């Protein structure tokens, strides 16, 4: 039995000499499977692509999927499906959980539509998301970040596998409050640093600022935290990870023990990657000691309110048994 | 504006000669039986210095199962010796259904990686591979054929085809894992899938084709079609405390809120109905002698766009 590998390197140079005239691009984003409750409230079922929250959606009639990502600043458009013939308004900020950034151009998105309601004038970044599409085997139109979500309270419900967006007033109260009938169990304030949700946590006795990022498929911890706190991390294996910017970096995978929210609420053991996050300031717009991603939010029901700077945990149902 | 792009395309062509087999695990009912057979491995790699040694030079005393499912832990999943040459570990498939594909490897004496060769069908190139040296991990697919499953896929004709693969959203469009079996003039494969809607295609000797016998299809991003299969699950609704009622119905999103489409039958101290439902969320109510009520035994409720309070059931 033989195995042969033949590697051929081919180099192509493509020259493109078209100029891009300034223009404003109107993006109409829809959710075909959404349950529109009112002009201020919508429920959108989600599916998981491994550990990413995926909403079926469309942009300008093109059907596909959108990633819900609180770690992203703007609406990111996959330039694979929306060619860059529109204007580049500004150079935006890229982001990547493994730190390797690529040049990002931004576009002005004129309106955002959930069938009957719109959010005007959102900035969208153009980024090549083909590596996510290839990995997830899904057509990804874009990523919904903070600027899209800011005017809503976002209810991520892993029990009913749906995201409910409640439009809020200026101070963050739900405009159609009567659609929320579940029972809150805890409220945790967060800091709105950069474009990032930053939670005050305690690891052992060490206070840490952790980013809550629904687009992070795994948790991260900065290798630069104190030695005392690092004792709560147990490394298992060196791995290579790829982020938004394609480049792979080597990191240490392991488990994180004894992390508490707001010094009060214990969180269970979570799979976590220890890495140098010093470059992540650009990614999140602020310095953080770690990132809480899928392992933190999975199987929870929680509300994120940017205006009130508050995370609200909701009671999980239990099955009643008649005796 | 001038834009210059340099694309580097890397082609990898591998040729396999002979018949490879799925090795290293077997899915039996709801369990994954991991088996390490000393006879399957000819080489080991020392974890410390990366040197390879021959199997004859290693006396294997213990074996650990390490992989993506346990974050490549080298201590947690110790295997049990079941014979002179075999070690086994049984895990519930529920522990592994977080992903469809997992990479794993066996670690002998906590220091030596057992290297699978091309006798294994289920191998995949590891990150450790380089230009000169191929290193493989084993691959586990949690979606496998199950003759007693709930979803049979059939392709008629193509008698002269050599290999027909079933690929779909249920296995992340894997192009190798699910080989269909030839049965007379048809190809067939049965899977056991959770309730939900799935898209799929056949790969007939490398050519993708949707299921022409299945009228339910959607357009895909390549301008072609993906066939659609809906898997349902019998779901029971029960209502207690209204045993004196004359007529009871269950009505919901699954029957377009038709008030009389699904009558419930009296069974001892309760009313019951069984409906085949697809995966996902369903809202419903009971209608007791004309009065619409929510399910008193279900705490999951939602308000719909008309302001009605409904009970909610998740089928999964």
Q: What is the DSSP string of A239-269?
A: EEEE-TTS-EEEEEEEEE--EEETTTEE---
- Residue keyed to tokens 């013939």: A85
The per-residue pLDDT for range B59-75, each reduced to its tens digit, is 999 999 998 888 788 77
Whether A299 and chain B come into contact, CB under 8 Å, resolves to no
The mean pLDDT value of chain B amounts to 86
Residues 119-158 of A with CB under 8 A from B: 136-137, 139
Q: Is the pLDDT of residue A86 over 70?
A: no
pLDDT computed for residue B49 by the predictor: 81
Q: Is residue B215 helix, strand or coil? A: coil
CB contact under 8 A, A12 and B16: no
CB contact under 8 A, B15 and A2: yes
Residue in chain A nearest B282 by alpha carbon: A160
- Residue keyed to tokens 């150079």: A91
User: How is residue B219 written in tokens?
Assistant: 């357009």
CB contact under 8 A, B312 and A8: no
Q: Say which of A5, A12, A14 has its CB closest to residue B134.
A: A5
CB contact under 8 A, A161 and B314: yes
Burial of A110 (0-12, 13-18, 19+ CB in 10 A): middle
Contact assessment for residue A71 and residue A97, using Cβ atoms and an 8 Å cutoff = yes
B239 or A266, higher pLDDT: B239
CA-angle at B135, arms to B129 and B139, nearest 5°: 115
Q: Report chain B residues whose CB lies below 8 A from the CB of A254.
A: 71
Contact assessment for residue B214 and residue B228, using Cβ atoms and an 8 Å cutoff = yes
Helices (H) and strands (E) in chain A, counts: 5, 28
CB contact under 8 A, B297 and A322: yes
Q: Is the pLDDT of residue B245 over 90?
A: yes
Return the bridge partners of B153, or none: B189
Q: How many CB atoms lie within 10 A of CB A174?
A: 20
Whether A4 and chain B come into contact, CB under 8 Å, resolves to yes
User: How is residue B148 written in tokens?
Assistant: 């007693």
Query: Pick from A101, A57, A93, A62: which is nearest to A80 by CA?
Result: A62
Which range among A223-227, B134-138, B160-164, B237-241 shows the weakest confidence by mean pLDDT? B134-138
Q: Report chain B residues whose CB lies below 8 A from the CB of A155.
A: none
The per-residue pLDDT for range B132-148, each reduced to its tens digit, is 667 888 888 778 788 88
Give B221→chain A minimum CA distance, Å. Answer: 7
Q: Say which of A4, A271, A318 has its CB closest to residue B14.
A: A4
pLDDT computed for residue B161 by the predictor: 93
Q: Is the pLDDT of residue B131 over 70?
A: no
CB contact under 8 A, A11 and B8: yes
Contact assessment for residue B224 and residue B210, using Cβ atoms and an 8 Å cutoff = yes
DSSP class of residue B254 equals G
* pLDDT band (50, 70, 90) for residue B98: low
CB contact under 8 A, A5 and B304: no
Residue in chain A nearest B17 by alpha carbon: A1
CA distance A202 to A208: 6
Q: How many CB atoms lie within 10 A of CB A35?
A: 19
Q: Which of B221, B235, B238, B310 to probe by mutation at the A interface, max A CB count within 10 Å?
A: B221
Which range among A42-56, A77-91, A246-260 shows the weakest confidence by mean pLDDT? A77-91
Residue in chain A nearest B196 by alpha carbon: A47
DSSP class of residue B145 equals B
Q: Is the pLDDT of residue A2 over 50?
A: no
Which range among A191-195, B118-122, B183-187 shows the weakest confidence by mean pLDDT? B118-122
Residues 244-263 of A with CB under 8 A from B: 253-255
Return the bridge partners of A62, or none: A59
CA distance A128 to A81: 9
Q: Determine the average pLDDT of the residues in A190-216.
A: 91
Give A165→chain B minimum CA distance, Å. Answer: 14
Give B171→chain A minimum CA distance, Å. Answer: 10
Q: Report chain A residues whose CB lies below 8 A from the CB of B17.
A: 1-2
Q: Which domains are assigned to chain A? A: 29-167 (2.40.70.10), 188-299 (2.40.70.10)
Q: Report chain A residues whose CB lies below 8 A from the CB of B2.
A: 15-17
The mean pLDDT value of chain A amounts to 76
Task: At A281, give phi and psi (nearest 5°).
Answer: -60, -40
Q: Which domains are assigned to chain B? A: 25-141 (2.60.40.10), 151-214 (2.60.40.10), 233-315 (2.60.40.10)
ipTM of the modeled complex: 0.77
Strands (E), B217-262: 217-219, 225-240, 248-252
Query: Pick from A8, A104, A323: which is nearest to B269 by CA?
Result: A323
DSSP class of residue A159 equals T
Q: What is the pTM of this model?
A: 0.76
Residue in chain B nearest A318 by alpha carbon: B299
Q: Determine the average pLDDT of the residues in A233-262.
A: 75
CB contact under 8 A, B72 and A253: yes
Query: Pick from B179, B191, B272: which is nearest to B231 by CA?
Result: B191
pLDDT computed for residue B200 by the predictor: 97
């Amino acid at each position: 039995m033989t195995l042969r590998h033949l590697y051929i390197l081919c180099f192509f140079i493509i020259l493109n000499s078209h100029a891009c005239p300034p223009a404003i691009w109107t993006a109409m984003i829809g959710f075909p499977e959404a349950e529109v409750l009112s002009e201020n409230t919508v429920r959108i079922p989600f599916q998981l692509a491994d550990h990413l929250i995926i909403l079926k959606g469309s942009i300008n009639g093109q059907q596909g999927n959108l990633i819900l990502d609180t770690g992203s600043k703007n609406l990111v458009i996959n330039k694979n499906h929306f060619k860059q013939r529109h204007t580049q308004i500004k150079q935006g900020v890229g982001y990547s959980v493994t730190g390797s950034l690529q040049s990002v151009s931004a576009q002005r998105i004129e309106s955002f539509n959930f069938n009957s309601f719109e959010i005007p004038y959102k900035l969208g970044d153009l980024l090549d998301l083909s590596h996510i599409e290839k990995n997830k085997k899904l057509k990804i139109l874009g990523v919904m970040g903070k600027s899209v979500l800011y005017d809503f309270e976002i209810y991520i419900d892993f029990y009913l596998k749906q995201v409910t967006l409640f439009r809020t007033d200026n101070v963050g109260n739900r405009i159609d409050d009567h659609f929320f009938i579940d029972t809150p169990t805890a409220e945790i304030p967060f800091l709105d640093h950069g474009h990032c949700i930053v939670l005050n946590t305690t690891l052992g006795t060490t206070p840490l600022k952790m980013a809550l990022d629904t687009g992070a498929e795994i948790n991260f911890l900065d290798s630069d935290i104190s030695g005392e706190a690092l004792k709560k991390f147990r490394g298992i294996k060196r791995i290579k990870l790829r982020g938004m910017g394609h480049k792979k970096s080597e990191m240490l995978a392991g488990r994180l023990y004894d992390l508490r929210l707001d010094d009060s609420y214990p969180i269970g053991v979570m799979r976590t990657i220890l890495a140098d996050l010093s470059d992540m300031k650009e990614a999140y717009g602020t310095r953080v000691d770690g990132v809480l991603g899928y392992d933190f939010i999975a199987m929870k029901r929680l509300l994120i309110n940017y205006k009130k700077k508050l995370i609200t945990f909701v009671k999980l149902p239990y099955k009643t048994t008649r005796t | 504006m001038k834009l210059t792009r340099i694309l580097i395309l890397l082609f990898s062509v591998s040729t396999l000669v002979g018949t490879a087999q799925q090795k290293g695990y077997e899915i039996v009912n709801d369990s994954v039986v991991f088996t390490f057979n000393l006879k399957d491995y000819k080489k080991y790699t020392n974890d410390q210095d990366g040197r390879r040694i021959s199997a004859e030079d290693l006396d294997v005393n213990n074996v650990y199962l390490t992989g993506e499912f346990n974050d490549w832990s080298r201590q947690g999943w110790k295997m049990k010796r079941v014979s002179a040459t075999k070690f086994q570990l049984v895990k519930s498939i529920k522990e592994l259904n977080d992903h469809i594909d997992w990479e794993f490897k066996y670690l002998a004496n906590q220091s030596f990686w057992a290297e699978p060769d091309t006798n294994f069908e289920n191998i995949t190139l590891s990150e450790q591979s380089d230009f000169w040296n191929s290193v493989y991990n084993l691959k586990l697919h949690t979606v496998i054929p199950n003759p007693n499953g709930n979803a049979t896929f059939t392709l008629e004709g193509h008698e002269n085809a050599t290999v027909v693969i079933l690929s779909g959203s249920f296995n992340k469009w894997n192009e190798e894992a699910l080989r269909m079996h030839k049965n007379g003039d048809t190809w067939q494969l049965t899977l056991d899938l959770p309730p939900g809607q799935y898209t799929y295609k056949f790969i007939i000797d490398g050519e993708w084709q949707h299921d022409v016998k299945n009228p339910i299809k959607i357009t895909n991003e390549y301008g072609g079609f993906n066939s659609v299969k809906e898997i349902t699950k019998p779901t029971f609704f029960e209502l207690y405390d209204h045993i004196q009622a004359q007529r009871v119905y269950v009505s919901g999103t699954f029957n377009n809120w038709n008030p009389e489409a699904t009558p419930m039958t009296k069974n001892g101290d309760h009313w019951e109905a069984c409906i085949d439902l697809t995966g996902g969320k369903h809202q419903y109510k009971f209608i007791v002698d004309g009065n619409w009520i929510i399910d008193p035994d279900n705490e999951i409720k939602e308000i719909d766009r008309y302001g009605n309070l409904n009970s909610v059931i998740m089928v999964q």
